[in-house]
Amino acid sequence: MTQPIDLTSLLNSAYYFLKFRPRSKKEITDYLIKKVKKRRGSDDLIWQAIGQLEKERLINDTEFVRWLVESRIAGKPKGERAIRYELRRLGISDDLVSSYLTDHPIIEENAARRFLQGRFARIKKLPVAIGRRKAIQWLLSRGFDYDIAKKICNDLVGVAKNNKEE
């Protein structure tokens, strides 16, 4: 039979959960709720732990938004729509997301171009119409706007066509 959880062990669980990447307040709260239910703890412990983690500045949704946006642009780039969806799913308010993206706009054209350049070798082997359609599908699936996807694909397919003619 498991013993009820106390604040120290709940905080240790939270520290472990935070060890791998920053987390939103909602993610931490959901995680701690599961821990408390599993070990028959008090709901007050959750809010004490959340308060302690905020005091230690381990939970900060504004910093979490910054981290997530930067990481989604730096790695395999995503469009603003996909980033907004992911942040909403992780419990970040639309106001906070809109405020951050207004102050730090994502230059989707550059991100879309970087994403497609990694797939350019595959695209240029395909017939032009199929390559263009596949590239647009890839970009749309990554959350980029259709107009941007179309523009970038036309630019890249034009480059590919010019290379084939030489």
Residues 8-54 have pLDDT tens digits of 989 999 999 999 999 999 999 999 999 888 887 778 889 999 999 99
pLDDT at 119: 81
pLDDT of amino acid 159: 53
Predicted confidence at residue 158, as pLDDT, reads: 61
* Sign of the dihedral defined by the CA atoms of residues 74, 75, 79, 84, in that order: negative
* All structural domains of the chain with their residue ranges: 7-55, 61-103, 108-165
Q: Quick one: pLDDT at residue 166?
A: 41
Structure tokens at 54: 């905020």
pLDDT confidence of residue 165: 44
- Other CB atoms closer than 10 Å to residue 95's CB: what's the count? 8
Distance between CA atoms of residues 64 and 119, nearest Å: 30
Q: What is the pLDDT of residue 157?
A: 65
Half-sphere exposure of 60 (CA within 13 A, CB side): 8
111 — phi, psi (to 5°)?
-65, -45
pLDDT digits (tens, 9 = 90+) for 112-164: 998 888 788 888 888 888 888 888 999 999 999 999 999 998 887 665 454 44
Pairwise CA distance, residues 158 & 161, whole Å: 5
Neighbours of 66 (CB within 10 A): 15
pLDDT level of residue 2 (50, 70, 90 thresholds): low
pTM of the model: 0.81
> What pLDDT digit, counting tens, does each position of 55-103 carry?
999 999 999 999 999 999 888 899 999 999 999 999 999 999 999 999 9
